[in-house]
Amino acid sequence: MRILVCGGSTGIGAAAVAAFLARGDDVLLADRSEPGAELLDSVAAHPGSLSVVRADFADPLAPTDVIAAALELWDGELDVLFYNAAVLESHPLADWTLDSWERSAAVNLRAPFFFIQAAEAALRRSGQGRIIVTSSTGALRGHAGMPAYHATKSGLLGLVRSVADELGPAGVTVNAVSPGWVDTPFNDSFWGFQDDADAALDELVSSIPLGYQASPDDIAGTILFLASDASRYITGQSIVVDGGYTAV
């Protein structure tokens, strides 16, 4: 399959890229940053191919530019759009600024919509079109200091349901993966907001039935499944991968 991954130099995105490559997929990775060394070192060991394009997802032109690059690379073809990029900022309510709110909204919610819009024609042609976005259990539960993150991740679930209805007749599935707590630097802003980060971490882990935070690889399997024929009758859904965090 020909797969565009938006946001995958590290963390969940990088784990998904590695899983796609191991399956033999052709991947175009779009990110602000260069891929991490661990991901690049793994490329030679996998049968798939990896191309990279730089993109700032807060830029309104990024969706059309990146989709154009993907279609040029693959002669107008695209099978899977996986939008994983996100911004997480934590501030006291009074300290939020227009700029910080707008950047979260732009990257977390506006960009995935316009990526979907720009990719629509190619995904309809594919015959196996898949759209996957990374939401969060933050769409289901709230934490102080993170209003923009929670609002935008909730908004993604509404976007998924709407687009699933529109593209379903073309056979294009649209789903969200909603990870719980994943042990990556992405969450550093949240931990920095806590009065006692160590105590907050202990309390968090004790609230997860499986007793630990996920690794990025724990999330990648669900993404791989949604980008396969095995998931062809699943659309408009949010699949929670959280070790039981939202179940209790």
- Angstrom CA distances, 106 to 8, 69, 70, 97, stand at 18, 21, 21, 14
Does the structure show a pLDDT above 90 at 193? Answer: no
C-alpha atoms less than 13 angstroms from C-alpha of 113 in its C-beta half-sphere? 17
- Which one of 83, 149, 238, 245 is the catalytic residue? 149
User: Does residue 245 carry a catalytic annotation?
Assistant: no
User: Does residue 9 carry a catalytic annotation?
Assistant: no
**Phi, psi (5° rounding) for residue 52?**
-135, 140
Does the structure show a pLDDT above 80 at 195? Answer: no
User: Does residue 136 carry a catalytic annotation?
Assistant: yes
- pLDDT digit string (tens) for 39-59? 777 777 778 899 999 999 999
- Which one of 126, 135, 136, 231 is the catalytic residue? 136
CB atoms within 10 A of CB 26: 18
Q: Kindly give the residue spans of alpha helices, DSSP state H, lying in the chain.
A: 11-23, 37-43, 62-73, 98-105, 111-126, 147-167, 188-193, 197-206, 216-226
- What is the Cα–Cα distance from 65 to 178, expressed in whole angstroms? 27
**pTM value?**
0.94
Percent of the chain, pLDDT > 90?
Answer: 82
CB atoms within 10 A of CB 22: 15
Cα 133 → chain centroid? 5
Residue owning tokens 């196996």: 128
- pLDDT digit string (tens) for 59-69? 999 999 999 99
Domain map (residue ranges) of the chain: 2-241
Indicate the pLDDT class of residue 188, thresholds 50, 70 and 90: confident
Looking at CATH, the fold of the domain delimited by 2-241 is given as Rossmann fold (3.40.50)
- pLDDT digit string (tens) for 109-143? 999 999 999 999 999 999 999 999 999 999 999 88
Indicate the pLDDT class of residue 204, thresholds 50, 70 and 90: confident
- What is the Cα–Cα distance from 32 to 59, expressed in whole angstroms? 11
- What is the Cα–Cα distance from 170 to 202, expressed in whole angstroms? 47
- Cβ atoms 132, 80 nearer than 8 A: yes
- What is the Cα–Cα distance from 174 to 12, expressed in whole angstroms? 19
Q: Answer with the residue of higher pLDDT: 44 or 209.
A: 209
